[in-house]
Structure 1
Amino acid sequence: MVSPDLERPSAFAELSRDQLAILVPELLLTGHLIDRSGMAHTIGAFGREGMTAVAIEEWRVASPVYTRRMQRALGFTGDGVETIFKGLQLDIGAPPQFMDFRYRVDDHDHGAFWLDHCGALADVEPLGEDYVRSMCHDIEDPTFDATALATNPHAQVRPIHRPPRVPADRHPVCSWTVTIDASHTPPPVPANFDRVAESYAARVLLDPIDPGDDGQSDYAGPLLSDLRFSDFSRSALIRMADEVCLQQHLLALGFLIAIGGRTDAAAAATIGRKQFAGIAGLTSERLRHALGLGTDAAALAQVLRLHPAWNPLRYSGVHIQHEDIGVRLRLPKRSGAVADGVWPSLIDADHLESLEAMARGVNPRFAAHVVDDNDDEFAIVFLLGDKPFREAGEVAITRFSTGADFRFTDRGIPLPLTVV
């Protein structure tokens, strides 16, 4: 039985508008890096072709669900290429600047995009042409279409050119057309899509954006060359942050479903925990740096409250308290997240690696100690030890990505992309 607290405020409501404008692109980027954390372990279990199949399945079942959520939240629910492009700008699959999508809208049914920089390609090119083809051909073809289909079932995304790059420094790195045509036959609904679409993550209710708040309250206007998050209202940014966290849970759910269909439950849980530990630690580190926090217990408490693993709070039900002794985390055993079987469900007294990786992204001296484990909740306290712990291997693997050290820049006033 799941009884979410529908009155519980967003954890992001404690932040200022300026802080939220910094945080939202960070959350989009860390959501993208989930695959950097999980796919290395997937390759180890199933090989490159198995990894490719898992990636296709997870994105195909997750992206249409969270794309429609964001469209409804930000008020851009059209059915043309402009709406598709707006969705990509708020998608963990295309975090700003790291995946530097550029757009052109020709008319309602025709447009194009290209990447001036592709952080994912920078991560994969050193692995060789086979991995590049797996990502830029095998994975992108069905998953780009899946994202577009969330807006219009007759949309197709097709390459003009894409890697492997010839010559090796070809720029832009890839280019694609988007065409909507009633003659296009939509692909069949992928297996397990209903399981994701009917999950608690897909259905969780969040507070609407306050249209009277200072700043832009929706994205109903023209498509912009870039989203300048500081232009949005505080209320809109809070909703964006919670929606981006749900994107991460939905992608993790798709990943765990895909893994679970290829191995036994114990092995799937092991891979899921490794994925969780890798992204948990790197995300904490980036959040701490982005918000200019310290390394003490107060900083850990704030990072934990804002960590996408625990948000939205109505989904995870987690409680985090900064106490004299340390930082206490109370995780209910009945919540939407636990019922869905995503990251919080993978934690127990014998599996604290993800929690410790999360805390050590703030300070490598933190350790997790179980203080309660009953029918209702699991509780741990983070305490500082005398010496730093070695970085977890799962975090080190995720740090392989160029996204680990990526820094956003101010690009100034964005331009509207209008039809000529």
Structure 2
Amino acid sequence: MVSGTDSRRSGFADLTQAELAVLVPELLLSGQLIDRSGMAHCIGAFGREGMTAVAIEEWQVASPVYTRRMQRALNFAGDSVETIFKGLQLDIGAPPQFMDFRFRVDDHDHGEFWLDHCGALADVEPMGESYVRSMCHDIEDPTFDATALATNPYAQVRPIHRPPRVPADRHPVCAWTVVIDPAHVPPPIPPNSDVLAGSRAAGMSLDPIDSGDPGHADYAGPLLSDLRFADFSRSALIRIADEVCLQHHLLAMGFRIAVAARTDAAAEIFRKQFTGIAGITSERLRLALGLGDDDAALARVLGLHPAWNPLRYTGIEIELTDGGVRLRLPRRSAALADGVWPAVVDAEHLAPLEAMARGVNPHYAAHVVGDTADELLIEFRSAERPFAESGEVAITRISSGANFRFADRGIPLPLTVV
């Protein structure tokens, strides 16, 4: 029997508050780069228009589910424009600084946001105007609304201006209004929304935030110009990190469903997506936390990787041994029941695991040391010579997010009604 919960503590429970404050924006950026990894393969399989349709479908079904989860976790549920904006600040679709959202709240039902920098646009503009229009028009229109509708069914997000940029260096790169009006007719519920809403990820129970922990335990106060994650309590940051990992899985689930509707090769495309994001994320986590490139560092990175968290969702176990690092992947878990990334790893398909390990050190190879009805047991050992980077990781690395660096912006300002 597959259980939706597990008694084990969070995989982030051993981190300090300072380490968690570094980790959370990294996890948010990793979620954004999922599409940099997956959409290249969709273009190859379905063309630009097919890729656009997959992107719309995955975000439409995933973002309402995880938006409501984060609202409940951090106690800022509501039906206002301000609530919508708070949700965006904790959304893998809008990682801080890389997607530099700025906000203005006029009243409960009216506001604006604009992007001073858009890493996604920086990635797409070199591909030409047709791809810019696909992202900034075709994809953003329905998906911005889907995110806003998670807060209020009468919310509409509409452009003031957006790319293609005229002039070419126009700033801000885009600007949008958000208006809540009972006269607005909500769009139809997208197909497969019920699948994600009823998934194990959607219903996953995580540890409550300890209100006695030093620092902010929630986001119930005013909307802030930026979130300074170091201001949150250690307990709150652990919960945020686990929630952001569930965002990864929900978006990946939406991607898999959309791709499977179009091809019998969905598992292969899904595995390629996993491989690309697995490697880039490992590399960024290692560098962000100042880790080395030995077995201890690999065990640490594997335990923190969003593909394997929350631990009670995936059921994985990491063990540091004299011979290397071992990963135990159970045959029964909530993640496997949902069909997310762990479901496409087996004894014959280890590319995502090797990419993940080689983000720490290119010498690592994955070896199957156990394959039973209960678990797949993988051991990572260092080879004499380094391995070449996989094509899937190289594709993801094209994104400017692969080398993006976060900056300290100081004390954030509360954004009150103007």
**Does the TM-score normalized on the shorter chain lie above 0.5?**
yes
- Preserved CA contact (<8 Å) 1:215 1:231: yes
Deviations 1:71-110 (A, max 9, x none): 0000000100000000000000000000000000000000
One-letter identity of the residue aligned with 1:298:
A
Match of 1:369 in 2: 367
Q: Distance in 2 between matches of 1:77 and 1:193?
A: 20
When the two structures are superposed, what TM-score results if normalisation uses the length of structure 2?
Answer: 1.00
- Preserved CA contact (<8 Å) 2:5 2:205: no
Q: Distance in 1 between matches of 2:32 and 2:331?
A: 28
User: Which aligned pairs between 1:10-409 and structure 2 lie closer than 5 A?
Assistant: 10-264=10-264, 267-409=265-407
Deviation at 1:7, TM superposition (A): 1.7
Alignment equivalent of 1:414, drawn from 398, 405, 412:
412
One-letter identity of the residue aligned with 2:19:
Q
Q: Measured at CA, do residues 4 and 68 of structure 1 come closer, stay the same or move farther in structure 2, by a change above 3 Å?
A: closer
1:33 is paired with a residue of what secondary structure?
A: helix
2:82 is paired with a residue of what secondary structure?
A: helix
Tell me the C-alpha RMSD between the 2 structures. 0.5
When the two structures are superposed, what TM-score results if normalisation uses the length of structure 1?
Answer: 0.99
Runs of 4+ in 1 over 2 A off after TM superposition: 3-6
- Preserved CA contact (<8 Å) 1:5 1:317: no
2:354 is paired with a residue of what secondary structure?
A: helix
Q: Distance in 2 between matches of 1:64 and 1:130?
A: 28
Deviation at 1:6, TM superposition (A): 2.8
Deviations 1:107-129 (A, max 9, x none): 00000000000000000000000
Q: Distance in 1 between matches of 2:377 and 2:181?
A: 54
Query: Structure 1: any 5+ residue segments left out of the alignment?
Result: none
One-letter identity of the residue aligned with 1:126:
P
1:60 is paired with a residue of what secondary structure?
A: helix
Q: Kindly, what percent of the aligned residue pairs are identical?
A: 77
1:379 is paired with a residue of what secondary structure?
A: strand
One-letter identity of the residue aligned with 1:136:
C
Deviation at 1:5, TM superposition (A): 5.3
One-letter identity of the residue aligned with 1:320:
I
Deviations 1:219-245 (A, max 9, x none): 000000000000000000000000000
Alignment size in residue pairs: 418
Q: Distance in 2 between matches of 1:269 and 1:409?
A: 37
Q: Distance in 2 between matches of 1:379 and 1:61?
A: 33
Deviation at 1:3, TM superposition (A): 3.0
One-letter identity of the residue aligned with 2:239:
R
- Preserved CA contact (<8 Å) 1:65 1:202: yes
One-letter identity of the residue aligned with 2:357:
A
Q: Distance in 2 between matches of 1:216 and 1:206?
A: 18
- Preserved CA contact (<8 Å) 1:4 1:317: no
